Amino acid sequence: MDFSSFNFHESLAESIESSGYKKATLIQEKAIPVIMDGKDIIASAQTGTGKTAAFLLPILHKLMSEEHTDSEVHALIMVPTRELAIQISSHLDGLTYFSSISSIAIYGGGDGGSFVREKQALSTGVDIVVATPGKLISHLNMGYVKMKELKYLILDEADRMLDMGFHDDIMKIISFLPAKRQTLMFSATMPPRILQLAKSILHEPVEVSVALSKPPESIKQEAYVVYDTQKIPIIQHILAEKEYKSVLIFCSKKQTVKQLAAQLQRMKYNAKDIQSDLDQSQREDVLLEFSSKRLPILIATDILSRGIHIDNIELVINYDVPSDGEDYVHRIGRTARAETKGAAITFINNDDQHKFQRIEKLIGKIVDKVELPAALGKGPAYEVSSSRNRSHKKEMPKSNGQKPRAQAPPAPPAAPRPAGGLKIEKRVQ
């Protein structure tokens, strides 16, 4: 579907054309008409499907088309991380270039000057606020935030916010908002706790869903079964095979991120890390370097696995296996964006084998296990669970240029059903 089919406001249509948008993605095609109809929505879509524009475009159209006062906040977008707040704010800047719509991003880690700017916007009025829950509450508690005329509430990455313990903060913020509003909830997954939250804050929502969290075929997925001491030599081997302009390495722990960055720097690689110990300006500088391709290697925690839109990342490396299968999908979803191709390589040690098999079950695919370079010796035995809950051990063979034959993929788990009492109008695929 072409964006012209939505009949957006003239100023928004001009911004869309200038931004180079051509065709709507599946989530945009399904969600935009629902939102423009004024209905609440609970939408599920994997990373990289264009869900940010799926809620920004119809909300901007409404704000541009309606008469409203300039002294109030009219739309609130809540997000789990400051990086996502900055990303959405930047997206808004481009889409509102030809209009008078105002917006501000509110998140922790700023200086006194940023707090003053936030206070002024919240007390005198701004059309759209993009905020992390904790920082917004600090303003709400002071009593000057003007949200009596708020019309639109959007929760982006709702599952992530709950994972990070923001449920009580979300409910407190909602207590400051008018009951009569349009509420949009976007989530990558739909566990029972998300449906319970939807039941408490949405009114007769339409459910929109596109393919449950499976990596696109354009991502070439591979894995090495390794000892921990083999991980850095394998990285050296991978980087020596091809000159990559953009490599993103994920680690599950902040300390591992810092240690790996330091080790790669000692080996003369142009690599930097991004994690919560850096102040906000440092994190923004590192992200800018990486997105502009001046920094070829970035090491990060899962803080970058969702919501950060950087095109043309050629390779994602999972230095260790994430505990959550959905995090795996989000990590490798950083590559092969915008109809490009990419690669994702995962290192599996002894402790991570069972976790990785759960991930393979989630995505419905057995990932190719690549033989280690001969110079590195053998990896550990790989224990493969059988369909009858038996297991056998398979020694990783010496390198002969062949990949082991994959077993047939297990069936993916059934999608969770809505919690009782939540009235949902289905619009799926």
Give the C-alpha separation, 160 to 4, whole Å: 33
- The residue among 182 and 291 whose pLDDT is bigger is 182
What domains, with CATH codes, occur in the chain? 3-212+418-428 (3.40.50.300), 219-394 (3.40.50.300)
Q: What pLDDT score was predicted for residue 304?
A: 64
Q: How many CB atoms lie within 10 A of CB 164?
A: 15
Which residues sit opposite 208 in a β-bridge? 43, 427
pLDDT in tens, 19-71: 767 788 889 999 999 999 999 999 987 656 788 899 999 999 999 998 888 88
Give the C-alpha separation, 364 to 342, whole Å: 19
Residue 421 has pLDDT above 60, yes or no: no
pLDDT in tens, 98-122: 999 999 999 987 777 888 999 999 9
Give the C-alpha separation, 106 to 132, whole Å: 7
Q: What pLDDT score was predicted for residue 163?
A: 86
Residue among 157, 160, 193 at smallest CA distance from 416? 193
Q: How confident is the model at residue 267 (pLDDT cuts 50, 70, 90)?
A: very high
Q: How many CA atoms lie within 13 A of 418 on its CB side?
A: 18
Residue 130 has pLDDT above 50, yes or no: yes
Q: How confident is the model at residue 397 (pLDDT cuts 50, 70, 90)?
A: very low
Which of 145-154, 295-304, 380-389 is predicted with the least confidence, judged by mean pLDDT? 380-389
* Ramachandran category for residue 293: left, alpha or beta (phi over 0 → left; psi -120 to 50 → alpha): left
pLDDT in tens, 296-320: 999 988 766 555 667 778 999 999 9
pLDDT in tens, 286-297: 988 998 999 999
Place of tokens 């033989």: 371
Measure the CA dihedral 380/386/392/398, to 10°.
-40
pTM: 0.62
- The predicted model gives 381-390 an average pLDDT of 62
Residue 359 has pLDDT above 50, yes or no: yes
Query: Is there a contact between 35 and 59 (Cβ–Cβ < 8 Å)?
Result: yes
- The β-bridge relationship of strands 315-318 and 73-78 is unpaired
Give the C-alpha separation, 220 to 216, whole Å: 9
Give the C-alpha separation, 330 to 215, whole Å: 8
Question: Helix 280-291 vs helix 82-95: angle between axes, to the nearest 10 degrees?
Answer: 60
